[in-house]
Amino acid sequence: MNFLLESLVTVFLSLYYSLEALLLLVVPVRRKNVSGEIVLVSGAGSGIGRLVALEFARLHSTLVLWDISEEGNQETARQARDSGASRVYTYTCDCSNKTSVYQVADKVKREVGDVSILINNAGIVTGKKFMDSPDALLEKTMEVNTLAHFWTYKAFLPAMIASNHGHLVSIASSAGLFPVNGLADYCSSKFAAVGFAQSVALELLVSGKNGIKTTIVCPYFINTGMFDGCKTKWPHLLPILDPNYAAKKIINAILREQVLLVMPRSLSFLFAIRNLLPVKLGILLGQYFGVFNAMDDFKGRVKKD
């Protein structure tokens, strides 16, 4: 294709895709049916992982629940069965450990079948200034929040590629789009998780595997206990998100095959203009919105004795 023709095609398609995106803002997209799909949720024993699993239970999916806490995982399974799920499987898995991930994944494939919707949700937060963070915690943050995604993709993506069917979901964070004071290791892990998910999505697209969908979720702080103590200066503009609201938005994004979900919507605007702003203006706005001090009173989830 010569330069002129290729340029004209690109301009035409650019206009078409722009109009399509505007149309989809007002015309609801048909939600896909996930009944019978094998859905794996990591970090299912509490928080958003549990709530997302329960939403899939109501949609009659087959649930595979992973968590390092056997007690929490069993409670999620009980609630999932009460919500209508007929097939629920629980596995204790340390997602920070590659060997554990591979071993449990092999067991899932033998006992349940090929996972068709993979939701990488397991995550941890140190909540300390970088120089105050022990090396072991820094390493654990990267292992759980980033490297675990590598191992779950390695384990379950081949079957999706073979059938050209599946959905990869990364529960990341707005801290994977914007730096946050006091979250150096967490931001690093989430930036990496977002970049990894986007890159693999591009690999699948280029290789023609358009039957495998991807969704990246980047929420602001969610009131699950993980970020207890965090505050927002302007709650109407940047609210601490209600967990049930966040879970329903995540499910809706998956069913609509939405590529990127940013919550709240105000963050989408900030993300869109971020690279257009001078650095000093960006810092000024960060101070104005209070994001530099959001972690000042961080406590985190209280650990059970």
The verdict on whether omega for the bond into residue 264 sits within 30 degrees of 0, i.e. cis, is yes
Least Cα distance to 189 among 114, 280, 95, 49 occurs for 95
Report the pLDDT value the prediction gives residue 302, as an integer from 0 to 100: 57
**Rounded CA separation 123/172 (Å):** 9
Q: For residues 276 and 233, is the Cβ–Cβ distance under 8 A? A: no
Q: What is the pLDDT along the chain (305 residues), one digit of tens a residue?
A: 687 788 788 888 888 888 877 777 777 778 899 999 999 999 999 999 999 999 999 999 999 999 999 999 999 999 999 998 889 999 999 999 999 999 999 999 999 999 999 999 999 998 888 999 999 999 999 999 999 999 999 999 999 999 999 999 999 999 999 888 889 999 999 999 999 999 999 999 999 999 999 999 999 989 887 777 777 887 888 889 999 999 999 999 999 999 999 999 888 888 788 778 788 887 787 777 777 777 766 777 655 54
pTM of the model: 0.88
Domains of the chain: 33-293 (3.40.50.720)
Report the pLDDT value the prediction gives residue 305, as an integer from 0 to 100: 41
Pairing state between β 166-171 and 212-219: parallel
Where in the sequence numbering do the catalytic residues fall? Answer: 186
**Sheet strands (E) in the chain:** 38-42, 62-67, 88-92, 117-120, 166-171, 212-219, 260-263
* Residue that has been written with the tokens 């939600």 in this structure: 31
Report the pLDDT value the prediction gives residue 294, as an integer from 0 to 100: 75
3-state SS track over 260-299 = EEEECHHHHHHHHHHHHCCHHHHHHHHHHHCHHHCCCCCC
Residue 255, token pair as written in the block: 């069913």
Residue 302 identity (one-letter amino acid): V
